[in-house]
């Protein structure tokens, strides 16, 4: 199960990193019917984006520190999934910040990235 989660999270990181358009992100997951796995990432996404919402007006160092702490807390300290989480969020930081500043909720943001239904 842990390998599946790591592989899926790495897929998200690669898909997002290669996405050129900020307005219509590539679906983070293939159209899989296993909603149980997607719901696991939904919870993590909601926790992490919610924490980002709490520090949206702080300096970028603090924001990156919060991202790293939350990713490590959700996926394990310095684990491949934790590092992939940090890289993915670091690449999407400005996009997510803009959405939070414009009143988007963490659930709406996570749904846009196809991490929640």
How would you write the pLDDT of the chain (117 residues) with one tens digit per residue?
444 444 555 556 545 544 444 444 444 433 344 555 566 788 889 999 999 988 888 888 888 888 888 888 888 877 888 888 888 888 898 899 999 999 999 999 999 988 887
76-to-12, 48, 97 alpha-carbon distances in Å: 17, 14, 24
pTM for this predicted structure: 0.64
Architecture of domain 39-117: Orthogonal Bundle (1.10)
User: What is the spatial distance between Cα 17 and Cα 14, in angstroms, rounded to a whole number?
Assistant: 5
15-to-70, 74, 77, 103 alpha-carbon distances in Å: 21, 20, 23, 25
Domain ranges of the chain: 39-117
CB atoms near residue 49 (< 10 Å)? 25
């Amino acid at each position: 199960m842990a390998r599946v989660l790591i592989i899926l999270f790495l897929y998200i990181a690669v898909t997002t990193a290669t996405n050129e358009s900020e307005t219509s992100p590539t679906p983070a997951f293939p159209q899989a019917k296993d909603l149980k796995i997607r719901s696991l990432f939904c919870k993590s996404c909601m926790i992490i984006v919610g924490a980002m919402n709490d520090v949206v007006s702080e300096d970028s160092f603090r924001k990156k520190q919060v991202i790293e702490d939350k990713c490590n807390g959700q996926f394990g300290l310095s684990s491949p999934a934790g590092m992939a989480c940090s890289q993915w969020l670091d690449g999407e930081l400005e996009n997510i910040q803009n959405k939070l500043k414009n009143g988007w909720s963490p659930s709406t943001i996570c749904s846009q990235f196809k991490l929640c239904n």
